[in-house]
Amino acid sequence: MFHRVALFFASLAAALVLAFGLAATGIVPGGPSSVADPVVATAPPQPEPTVQVDTVYLTPPVAPQEVTVTQTAQSNGERDDEHEGRGDD
């Protein structure tokens, strides 16, 4: 219970410090602004400049080449040079 009361008073003190700081700088919530509103001057619309598009030439893509795949491993998973336990004497 003590912590809740202490937290309440701490938040109240923080709000008062914030309000005092804002009032000291002239920024009061809901009050008149101390800085005059700037007048926005509008200029007549300018015509858009013409855009010239340049042609960019790139190197042609490399033509696809034919790839031949040859299977070098035996299908049963056994290699010719590896024989476990056979002829190791």
pLDDT digits (tens, 9 = 90+) for 11-43: 999 999 998 888 888 776 665 555 555 666 777
Give residue 1's pLDDT: 87
The pLDDT, as a whole number, for residue 29 is 61
Higher pLDDT residue, 74 or 48? 48
What does the alpha-carbon distance between residue 48 and residue 44 come to, in Å, rounded to a whole number?
Answer: 12
Which tops the pLDDT comparison, 88 or 22? 22
In-domain check, residue 42: no
> What is the per-residue pLDDT for 46?
84
Which DSSP letter does residue 2 get? H
Is residue 12 in a domain? yes
Under the phi-then-psi rule, with left for phi > 0, alpha for psi from -120 to 50, and beta for the rest, what region is 40?
A: beta
Residue 7's domain comprises 1-26
Question: Does residue 73 contact residue 79 with C-beta atoms inside 8 Å?
Answer: yes
Does any domain span residue 39? no
Number of domains making up the chain: 1
CB atoms within 10 A of CB 22: 13
What is the average per-residue pLDDT within 60-66? Answer: 85
